[in-house]
């Protein structure tokens, strides 16, 4: 067993060594996974053992240093090691794998109403607003003085809580209260990294849980912020701000710094959050490239450990859309959330000299433009199509409105570049890549953002007119059915699942465009150095914003159903999600203007009140995840990092999983290949409705080129039989398929109804050249 694992890991490591051989003498940080059963009994603790492992390594040119010892999320430690020390460590039979530390990046008043919450019925009243559920938010820290973290009306800190409020010069003991019950900071991995911003580390960012960036305060207040009356950003989005689970408790774990969010720090925070007793982990952080295989992905590994402890891990899918397979945080035990719009607009029209009006969006709050028309120029004719700071030619831009193209730098930075060059205003236009997706920003110059079609028309107008002009008119906050919502943001990362295509990802979408929530007092709403404004609330966009919405919902569901596992909570959210926008049409993809599909929106948009009472759930035991990993072809060494609990050792042998497709997932992803035209999946559903004798009938919507047969087609539950099994046969009726809107992909659904509940699972089908998994 150990031998096998060694050779496997060693080859991985050699690949890594050769790719980084340039830093010959350099110490690098690694996460080292060890088999806890190898700990000699003479060591009183794992940490002692880990330290001793490091002391046994060659000590020149300098001794290896321990960053963190992990014992819950995973077993192992992180350390700064030289290449020689790493090589020696790998020869130790206790060592499973050595993975280089990596940096990840950070990827919300009206959303409760949009989600259908009400005080008198549904999920809020059936969960007491999540009281006593503890949400661990792993992010940029927290601004503790924010009114969203007021503890008024909350009872004592739950007795199960074992965490701490780590105090510091700018984080006094009073920072925590009965709402913010814990706060910690993790930076050892960051400090040892090449991006260690040591010079600014104390000035600009605080080595405490204090949020000097804004992101963490925003996500924490979205998930579990208290009720704040009359919240707004410069009067935009004015109303009552509240988190999804407004009585849940928050524990802030600061893991993101100006140089990024390091795996070693994330792992330490997960390890600690498990020990502290959180119930939900909200992580709006991920890699920016394609997802790595699960056994090499620290977030997937840590999330597995947390799931094993009964914690729901809710993560953002990433902002790398609209490309295919861009979703990250896609392990089957993670709740993966994409981003969509709500029925609220911050409208600002661009009006060109030829009398055309283009609907745009903006959070500009300063002096408005004069009503008269102003000269209009295209950035591409003024030195910088993307409007980079310092690249616009002032003599061409001064006093004019500049049309800038989206892409490259931050949107607010483009506005700042126009301002610095003396421009009077900006029209920010999408290119084909972001289509018609509009995200509002609090620009420093009068500015609005328009879609790709409007952008093309305005560019044409500038080209064809002798003296093009424009103005911008700001209309404030508009709530209503036009444009329809929800729609999927172009930036929202998409499936198919890059690692295990047989698992449909993302799972669901939730509000992630133009979301109002709490902000840090340290930087302005644009996060730009030249922005002197300070705001209590800010409006920003990203899957980072949609993730904490779902983390809050998970907290509410956990409170409403104390006996539900993380998988059951996910199942409830997935099978009750909807895929029709408020116009009655299928949810649109803002990247293309066409109907979205399950590789883009998963099961669809979350519906909290329905998730409260889903009827049936697809539950998954942790052992089944292990069996899944075996079934998709992970060899034993690859799996070892997940297997720290000895009770999981035999999961692969004892599992009922015939194939990976049998994992009891609440959605279906089917892959046909050149030699595979029939696929069978088994599922088990558990009756969680109030009627123990419920009888469910199946309803199938088959993709055009697939026949779906469900057997049995009727499930009769009883007191003795609360769990029933069924089998689905998917048959491709054309080889190659591919008449859907995306070549090689088609979509359908399987739903069970008992007259009261609709338990709907999306079906996504792909025809691939080879049906062989990538392992």
Ligand X SMILES: *[C@@H]1O[C@H](CO)[C@@H](O)[C@H](O)[C@H]1NC(C)=O
- Site residues, ligand X (CB under 6 A): 191-192, 196, 198, 201, 230, 232, 235, 393, 395-396
Question: With contact defined as beta carbons under 8 Å apart, do 554 and 386 qualify?
Answer: no
**C-alpha 682: how far from its chain's center?**
29
Query: Helices 215-224 and 543-560: crossing angle, nearest 10°?
Result: 30
Residue (of 473, 476, 422) closest to 444 by Cα position? 422
DSSP 8-class letter at 552: H
Question: With contact defined as beta carbons under 8 Å apart, do 105 and 261 qualify?
Answer: yes
Closest approach of ligand X to the CB of residue 142, in Å: 22
Closest approach of ligand X to the CB of residue 423, in Å: 14
C-beta closer to ligand X: residue 393 or 751? 393
Q: In angstroms, rounded to a whole number, what is the distance separating the alpha carbons of residues 331 and 663?
A: 12
C-beta closer to ligand X: residue 44 or 230? 230
Strand partners, 681: 728
Q: Considering the candidates 132, 139, 579, 607, report the single residue annotated as catalytic.
A: 139
**Sheet hosting strand 280-283, strand order edge to edge:** 180-185, 249-254, 134-139, 280-283, 312-316, 335-340, 508-511
Closest approach of ligand X to the CB of residue 401, in Å: 17
Query: Helices 622-631 and 298-308: crossing angle, nearest 10°?
Result: 140
Structure tokens at 170: 């700018």
Question: With contact defined as beta carbons under 8 Å apart, do 279 and 566 qualify?
Answer: no
Residue (of 436, 434, 389) closest to 412 by Cα position? 389
Q: Is 215 a residue of the active site? A: yes
Coil/strand/helix, residue 2: helix
Query: Any idea which residue has 């397979």 for tokens?
Result: 325
Structure tokens at 5: 């694992």
Q: Considering the candidates 215, 279, 498, 601, report the single residue annotated as catalytic.
A: 215
The DSSP result for 401-458, as a single string, is EEEEE-SSS-HHHHHHHHHHTT-SEEEEE--TTTTT-------SSSEEEE-HHHHHHH
Closest approach of ligand X to the CB of residue 270, in Å: 23
For 151-221, strand residue ranges (E) read: 180-185
What phi, psi does 172 have (nearest 5°)? Answer: -65, 165
C-beta closer to ligand X: residue 62 or 721? 62
Q: In angstroms, rounded to a whole number, what is the distance separating the alpha carbons of residues 760 and 750?
A: 6
With CB atoms as reference, the residue minimizing the distance to ligand X is 198
The DSSP result for 4-66, as a single string, is HHHHHHHHHHHHHHHHTTTSSS--EEEEEEE-GGG--TT-SSHHHHHHHHHHTS--SSS--EE
Closest approach of ligand X to the CB of residue 403, in Å: 17
C-beta closer to ligand X: residue 237 or 765? 237
Closest approach of ligand X to the CB of residue 341, in Å: 25
Give the DSSP H or E segment for 549. Answer: helix 543-560
Q: Considering the candidates 314, 493, 544, 669, report the single residue annotated as catalytic.
A: 544
Closest approach of ligand X to the CB of residue 236, in Å: 10
Question: With contact defined as beta carbons under 8 Å apart, do 210 and 141 qualify?
Answer: yes
Left if phi > 0, otherwise alpha if psi is -120 to 50, otherwise beta: which for 392? Answer: beta
For 154-206, strand residue ranges (E) read: 180-185
Closest approach of ligand X to the CB of residue 492, in Å: 31
C-beta closer to ligand X: residue 126 or 393? 393
Which is it for strands 515-518 and 508-511: parallel, antiparallel or unpaired? unpaired
Question: With contact defined as beta carbons under 8 Å apart, do 164 and 265 qualify?
Answer: no
C-beta closer to ligand X: residue 11 or 23? 23
Closest approach of ligand X to the CB of residue 70, in Å: 22
Q: In angstroms, rounded to a whole number, what is the distance separating the alpha carbons of residues 740 and 704?
A: 8
Question: With contact defined as beta carbons under 8 Å apart, do 528 and 444 qualify?
Answer: yes
Give the dihedral of Cα atoms 625, 631, 634, 637; nearest 10 deg: 70
Closest approach of ligand X to the CB of residue 81, in Å: 13
Q: Is the dihedral of CA 635, 640, 287, 766 positive or negative?
A: positive
Q: For residue 190, is the peptide bond before it cis, meaning its omega torsion is within 30 degrees of 0?
A: no
Q: In angstroms, rounded to a whole number, what is the distance separating the alpha carbons of residues 390 and 387?
A: 8
Q: In angstroms, rounded to a whole number, what is the distance separating the alpha carbons of residues 308 and 653?
A: 19
Closest approach of ligand X to the CB of residue 769, in Å: 46
Q: In angstroms, rounded to a whole number, what is the distance separating the alpha carbons of residues 231 and 250?
A: 20
Closest approach of ligand X to the CB of residue 116, in Å: 26
Q: ∠ CA(763), CA(302), CA(163), 5° rounding?
A: 125
C-beta closer to ligand X: residue 18 or 395? 395
Closest approach of ligand X to the CB of residue 379, in Å: 13
Q: In angstroms, rounded to a whole number, what is the distance separating the alpha carbons of residues 518 and 224?
A: 11
Query: Any idea which residue has 């009067």 for tokens?
Result: 235
Q: Mapped to the 3 state alphabet, what secondary structure does 352-366 carry?
A: ECCCCEECCECCCCC
Catalytic residues, by residue number, are 139, 215, 544
């Amino acid at each position: 067993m150990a031998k096998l694992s060694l050779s496997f890991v060693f080859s991985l490591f050699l690949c890594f060594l050769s790719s980084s051989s340039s830093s010959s003498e350099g110490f690098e940080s690694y996460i080292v996974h060890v088999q806890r059963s190898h700990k000699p009994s003479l060591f009183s603790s794992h940490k002692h053992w880990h330290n001793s492992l490091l002391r046994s390594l060659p000590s020149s040119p300098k001794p290896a240093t321990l960053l963190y010892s992990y014992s819950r999320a995973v077993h192992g430690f992180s350390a700064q090691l030289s290449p020689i020390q790493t090589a020696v460590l790998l020869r130790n039979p206790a060592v499973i794998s050595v993975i280089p530390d990596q940096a990840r990046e950070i990827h919300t008043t009206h959303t409760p109403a949009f989600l259908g919450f009400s005080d008198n019925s549904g999920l809020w009243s059936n969960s007491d607003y999540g009281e006593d559920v503890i949400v661990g938010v792993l992010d940029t820290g927290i601004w503790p003085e924010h009114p969203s973290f007021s503890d008024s009306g909350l009872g004592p800190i739950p007795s199960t809580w074992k965490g701490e409020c780590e105090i510091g010069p700018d984080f006094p003991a009073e920072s925590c209260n009965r709402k913010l019950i814990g706060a910690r900071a993790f930076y050892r991995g960051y400090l040892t990294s090449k991006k260690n911003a040591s010079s600014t580390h104390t000035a600009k960012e605080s080595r405490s849980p204090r949020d000097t960036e804004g992101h963490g305060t925003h996500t924490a207040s979205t998930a579990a912020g208290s009720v704040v009356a009359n919240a707004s950003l410069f009067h935009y989005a004015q109303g009552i701000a509240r988190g999804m689970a407004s009585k849940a408790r928050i524990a802030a774990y600061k893991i993101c710094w100006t140089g990024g969010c390091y795996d070693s720090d994330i792992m330490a925070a997960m390890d600690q959050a498990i020990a502290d007793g959180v119930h939900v982990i909200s992580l709006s952080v991920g890699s920016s490239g394609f997802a790595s295989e699960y056994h090499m992905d620290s977030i997937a590994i840590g999330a597995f450990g947390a799931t094993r402890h009964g914690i729901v891990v809710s993560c953002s899918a990433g902002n790398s859309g609209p490309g295919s397979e861009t979703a990250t945080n896609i392990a089957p035990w993670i709740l993966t959330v994409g981003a969509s719009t709500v029925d609220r607009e911050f409208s600002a029209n661009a009006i060109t000299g030829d009398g055309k009006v283009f609907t745009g969006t903006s959070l500009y709050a300063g002096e408005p433009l004069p009503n008269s028309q102003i000269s209009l120029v295209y950035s591409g004719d003024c030195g910088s199509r993307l409007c980079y700071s310092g690249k616009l030619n002032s003599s061409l831009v001064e006093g004019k409105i500049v049309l800038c193209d989206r892409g490259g730098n931050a949107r607010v930075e483009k506005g700042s570049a126009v301002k610095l060059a003396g421009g009077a205003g900006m029209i920010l236009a999408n290119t084909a890549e972001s289509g018609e997706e509009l995200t509002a920003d609090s620009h420093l110059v009068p500015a609005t953002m328009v879609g790709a079609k409007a952008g093309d028309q305005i560019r044409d107008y500038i080209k064809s007119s002798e003296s093009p002009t424009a103005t911008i008119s700001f209309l404030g906050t508009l709530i209503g059915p036009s444009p329809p919502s929800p729609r999927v943001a172009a930036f929202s990362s998409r499936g198919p699942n890059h690692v295990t295509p047989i698992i449909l990802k993302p799972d669901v979408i939730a509000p992630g465009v133009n979301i109002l929530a709490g902000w840090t007092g340290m930087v302005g709403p644009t996060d730009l150095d030249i922005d002197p404004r300070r705001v209590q609330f800010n409006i920003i966009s990203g899957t980072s914003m949609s993730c904490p919405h779902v983390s809050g919902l998970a907290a509410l569901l956990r409170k409403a159903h104390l006996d539900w596992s993380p998988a059951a909570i996910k199942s409830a959210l997935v099978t009750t999600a909807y895929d029709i926008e408020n116009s009655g049409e299928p949810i649109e993809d803002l990247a293309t203007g066409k109907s979205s599909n399950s590789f883009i929106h998963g099961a669809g948009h979350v519906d909290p009140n329905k998730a409260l009472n889903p009827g049936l759930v697809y539950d998954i035991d942790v052992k089944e995840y292990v069996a899944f990993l075996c079934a998709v072809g992970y060899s034993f060494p690859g799996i070892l990092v997940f297997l720290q609990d000895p009770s999981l050792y035999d999961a692969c042998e004892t599992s009922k999983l015939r194939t990976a497709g049998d994992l009891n997932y609440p959605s279906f992803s089917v892959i046909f290949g050149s030699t595979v035209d029939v696929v069978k999946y088994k599922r088990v559903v558990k009756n969680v409705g109030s009627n123990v004798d419920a009888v469910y009938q199946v309803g199938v919507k088959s993709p055009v080129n697939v026949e779906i047969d469900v057997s049995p087609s009727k499930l009769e539950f009883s007191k003795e039989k609360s769990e029933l099994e069924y089998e689905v046969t998917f048959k491709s009726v054309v080889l190659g398929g591919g008449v859907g809107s995306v070549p090689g992909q088609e979509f359908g659904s399987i739903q069970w109804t008992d007259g009261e509940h609709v338990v709907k699972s999306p079906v996504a089908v792909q025809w691939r050249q080879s049906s062989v998994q990538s392992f």
